[in-house]
Amino acid sequence: MSKSTTDAYQIVTNRILEALDAGIVPWRKPWSLPAGMRPISIRGHIYTGINALVLGLSGYSDPRWLTFGKATEIGGNVRKGEKSTPAVFLKVVDRKADPDDDNEKPGKYHLLKKYALFNAEQCEGLDLPTIHIVPIKDFDPIAQAEGIIQGMPNRPAISHDGGDRAFYVPRLDSIHLPPRYAFENAGEYYSTALHELGHSTGHPKRLDRKDLKELAAFGSETYSKEELVAEFTSAFLCHEAGIEQTIENSAAYIRGWSRKLKADKRLVIQAASQGQRAADYILDRQAALQVAA
C-alpha cells in the first residue's frame, strides 16, 4: 500500500477519533419515504415491522393492501391467478381462569395471526380514491462514488427494493437499499450504499471476515464489531470520492456501536484496520491487499 493511501486512511481515522472524543451526536437515518409510499391497508393503517418490510419488497407502486374478503366486500375482486403476500398480526389475549379446567392457567398470551394480503394493483373493480404522493426529489449522482461502486470486483447484486431499510443479506450476497429519492442528499445515499458494500466484503468469496459469517443477534458484540468495520469502510470510500459532509454522521454511528463495546479505543482502531482492507478490496487494490496480508 502506498504512503499516500495510508495517509488518506489515517486522516479519516483521526477525524473520526477526534469526533468521538468531542461527544456523541444523534444517530441518523439519512432517508425517509414519503407517507404515500409506505405500505398501508385500505383503511389507512400503516404497516410496521416485518409487515412493512415484506410488503415493501413486493415491487408494487400502489402502497394499499387488503384481504381477498375485503376486496369482495367493497365490490371488487382479486384477479384470477394472483398470489397473496403474507402478513402477521400479534394480539395480546387476556385469558381468564376456567373453574372447570384445572389445566388452564389465567394470564396474558400472545396470539400470532396470519393474513393473506393482496395489493390494490392485483385487484379489479375497486372504487378507491386517487393517491397523492409527495413529489419525488431529484437525484444528482456523484460520478466518483458511482465509479467506486461499479468498479468493485466481484460486486454483489444491488437493488433499490429495501423499502424503509438498508441491509446486506450474506446468504443471497445481495444489497437492498431504499429508493435513491428517499435520501436527504446524494452524499448520504452513497454513504449508505458504501456501508452495505463494506459488509459484503466479509463474504467468504471475498475477505471471508469472521464477524460477518457468524449469525449474531442485533446489538451483540459480534454484530457491533461488523457495524464498525462497515462504517469505517464507508467513511474511507466517501473520502476517496470527495464526499466529506458525512464524516460527523459516521463518527456518531461508530460512537453508538463502540459504546456498546465499552468505548474501547483499541476496538475502534482494529475496526479501522479491517475497514481499510475492505476499502482496498472495493477499490480493487489487490496488490496492496497481498502486501498487507
Mean predicted confidence (pLDDT) in 86-100: 70
Mean predicted confidence (pLDDT) in 225-235: 85
CA distance 27 to 128: 39
Share of the chain above pLDDT 70, in %: 63
At residue 23, the pLDDT reads: 46
pLDDT digits (tens, 9 = 90+) for 151-164: 999 999 999 887 77
How many residues in total does the chain contain? 293
At residue 146, the pLDDT reads: 95
Choice among 42-46, 61-65, 86-90, 184-188 with the minimum mean pLDDT: 86-90
At residue 213, the pLDDT reads: 60
At residue 39, the pLDDT reads: 85
At residue 218, the pLDDT reads: 44
pLDDT of 227 strictly over 50: yes
SS in 3 state form for the chain? Answer: CCHHHHHHHHHHHHHHHHHHHHCCCCCCCCECCCHHHCCEECCCCECCHHHHHHHHCCCCCCCEEEEHHHHHHCCCEECCCCCCEEEEEEEEEEECCCCCCCCCCCEEEEEEEEEEEEEHHHEECCCCCCCCCCCCCCCCCCHHHHHHHHHCCCCCEEECCCCCCCEEECCCCEEECCCHHHECCHHHHHHHHHHHHHHHCCCCCCCCCHHHHCCCCCCCHHHHHHHHHHHHHHHHHHHHCCCCCCHHHHHHHHHHHHHHCCCCHHHHHHHHHHHHHHHHHHCCCHHHHHHHC
* pLDDT confidence tier of residue 178, bands split at 50, 70 and 90: confident
Q: What's the chain's average pLDDT?
A: 77
Of the two residues 182 and 216, the one the predictor is more confident about is 182
Share of the chain above pLDDT 90, in %: 29
pLDDT digits (tens, 9 = 90+) for 197-213: 999 999 999 999 877 76
Torsion on CA atoms 221, 223, 224, 230, rounded to nearest 10:
150
Listed ranges 38-42, 100-104, 107-111, 132-136; the one with the highest mean pLDDT: 38-42
Mean predicted confidence (pLDDT) in 254-269: 62
